[in-house]
Amino acid sequence: MSAAPPPIIDIHVHHTWATLAEPPWALIEETLLLAEQRGIQKIGLLGTYSYHGYDPTPQGIQESNTHAALIVKRYPKHVYSFCYLNPAHDPAFIRDELDRCVTELGMNGIKQWIAVNARDKRVDAVMEGAMRHHIPVLFHAWYKATGYVYNESTPADIRDLGLRFPEVPLIMAHLNGCGIRGVIDIQDLPNVYIDTSGSQPDAGFMEFAVAQLGAERILFGSDAPIRDYSVQLAKVTGAKIPDAARHQILGQNAARLLNF
């Protein structure tokens, strides 16, 4: 009898709500139920960043992280969270908020969106914090023909950051948004990973990423609830890759990287 497949861990899930008074527990429970129905055992929250705009204030950052922690506290077996930070803030605030996120709230990594581009030296304070706490940094990235939003980063920008901080595990978000060019950008950087989120499935992307990076540098991310769990899982389950590689991508790599 064959062994059961390892747990599926989603590294890229969003949560947001229209009021900061209380999380929308019914919506969150629905999200968890949908994940459970598709065999996803853990989902990683990346903060309510969109609620606070492209350049969130220190108060917005603290509120986002506190709300993520409330959800993790209620569902500790199925939910974990990354600490959302804005590199435009004072380095002392970044240090203190990250310390709060990791030591008090038990967060497993750092999330970066578009407040500051990955090439900006202000990101150094965030990366140094990641080194201090031995946690990965997940950074939004995309190649676009329609123009970039605020200080949005491309995979080339992520490459620059990965070269500056080779000791830090850096997760470039959005395989489908970064595309073939993005995979090639990070190919020779063993500290830079990629998650599978971003757009709908495209034939051949997963196979290309596995061939160029190795399955050990790819992590499953759904981008839920923006994207559908089933469709995003199909990127991995429907790819023409070995079962061992599939298991690595769907959960083993995240478990190793996040010390689960």
CA distances from residue 114 to 92, 193, 204, 236, 245 in whole angstroms, order as listed: 20, 19, 28, 27, 31
With 0-12 CB in 10 A as exposed, 13-18 as middle and 19+ as buried, what is 38? Answer: middle
Gap between the Cα atoms of 192 and 172, Å rounded: 7
More confident of the two residues 20 and 28: 28
- Sheet containing strand 137-139, edge to edge, reads 8-13, 40-45, 79-84, 109-112, 137-139, 170-172, 192-195, 218-219
Assess contact for 148 and 117: CB atoms under 8 A.
no
Strand, coil or helix: 198 = coil
Q: How much is the mean pLDDT over the chain? A: 93
- The pLDDT assigned to 49 comes to 66
* Closest C-alpha to 109, from 126, 91, 124, 89: 126
Q: Looking at the domain 16-257, which fold is it?
A: TIM Barrel (3.20.20)
Which stretches within the chain are classed as H helix? 25-37, 58-74, 91-99, 124-133, 155-164, 175-186, 205-213, 229-237, 243-247, 253-257
More confident of the two residues 167 and 28: 167
Gap between the Cα atoms of 113 and 201, Å rounded: 23
Assess contact for 156 and 119: CB atoms under 8 A.
no
* Closest C-alpha to 122, from 170, 160, 154, 88: 88
Residue 19 has pLDDT above 60, yes or no: no
pLDDT in tens, 100-129: 999 999 999 999 999 999 999 999 999 999
Region 226-231: mean pLDDT is 89
Domain ranges of the chain: 16-257
Gap between the Cα atoms of 214 and 216, Å rounded: 5
Region 211-228: mean pLDDT is 94
Considering the entire predicted model, what is its pTM? 0.96
Q: Supply the DSSP string of 77-94, one letter for each residue.
A: TTEEEEEE--TTS-HHHH
Grade residue 26 by pLDDT with cuts at 50, 70 and 90.
confident
